[in-house]
Copies of this chain bind each other. A is one copy, B any other.
């Protein structure tokens, strides 16, 4: 085996770097593929946007309702943003703002009965899309992916937190 096919340390480092980049680009491509599919189907089948769906999904997980600020934190968007999205859902009758009995500055946002019903239908469809999208992978692979993503999340969160 000739010596010159063994990469020097700089070449090796660059190759490793490029690998991380490729990994990210592939991951981004996958996510965009799925996310765009979901957006398109939410719009065509239910005439709703992903942010609105996400907000409703947060509320479904918290039947006691959430304050605007809590929604903002969980959805990782600014408060003004939540105001806008909530306004629309209120207009459509899917969500209500109730005055907080504890704090008169705050609202508590809840799903209406119609909102709950509507969300359930959407969530069911959404879950079905996911099953279809992942169906080409074996269960073992999906489990493995799930675990690796946990590791990635930890790793990335540590770095992202700094800046």
Residues of A within 8 A of B (CB): 16-24, 26-37, 40-41, 76, 126-137, 139, 141-142, 144-146, 148-160, 163
In the complex, besides A24-B34, A27-B34, 14 extra interface pairs with C-beta distance below 8 angstroms are: A20-B130, A22-B146, A23-B130, A23-B134, A23-B142, A26-B149, A27-B31, A33-B156, A41-B163, A133-B155, A134-B155, A135-B159, A141-B151, A145-B145
Which residues of B sit under 8 angstroms from A151, Cβ to Cβ? 136-137, 141
Is there contact, CB below 8 Å, between B20 and A134?
yes
Is there contact, CB below 8 Å, between B163 and A37?
yes
Which residues of B sit under 8 angstroms from A141, Cβ to Cβ? 148, 151
* Alpha-carbon distance between A163 and B39 when the two chains are bound, in angstroms: 12
